[in-house]
Amino acid sequence: MRVLNEDQKRFLAESIRDVPDFPKPGILFKDITTLLNNPKAYTLLMDHLSARYNEYDLDYIAGIESRGFIFGAALAAKLGIGFVPVRKKGKLPSATIAEKYALEYGFDEVEIHIDAFNEKVGAKVLLIDDLIATGGTAAAAAKLIQDAKAECVEACFVINLKFLNGEEKLDALAPCYSVLEVL
């Protein structure tokens, strides 16, 4: 099940709730909590991701705060590999490395522990999050993986808002895979 068929994609898409005007007017928010509380949908998604990444010989999965933790930790457990949280600045308790990225108005920053990959040079890492929009956070996280001397073999998203072109920011850093695309 490395590739989902159209019926499976439709089932997953229908398990995600659209919330209009959240967090502000004009935004159509993709609420994955309805996918998470649907055991058939969540199992289908996790089985698909497990089948897809089983052959990648990964060392770690890095999940972007916070919804990337939900998918990343579960997938790491299924694959029998380590999980690394990519957190917002100031949330990790030990020595970190950080990467800034641009927001619409200003900047934000994500961090990982300096020893996140146990100092394994060339560790093969999958980056995962629930959604890619403009791509700033994902690109910063992929850069962090490289800065830690690991290899971001792919960036995986449950949903890709294609019309925002976020994957273009990742082109030089890692290939992208999205389970669902919103055109």
Catalytic residue annotation: 67, 104
* Other beta carbons less than 10 A from residue 1's beta carbon: 12
- 3-class state of residue 43 by DSSP: helix
Least Cα distance to 167 among 153, 152, 177 occurs for 177
Pairing relation of β-strands 124-132 and 60-64? Answer: parallel
Q: CA nearest 16: which of 48, 1, 38, 49?
A: 38
Give the long-range contacts of residues 38-47, CB within 8 A, separation 24 or more: 40/11, 41/11, 41/12, 41/15, 44/8, 44/11, 44/12, 45/12, 45/71, 45/158, 45/179, 46/71, 46/74, 46/75, 46/78, 47/1
Beta strands at 82-88 and 124-132: parallel, antiparallel or unpaired: unpaired
Q: Is the peptide bond before 39 cis (omega within 30 degrees of 0)?
A: no
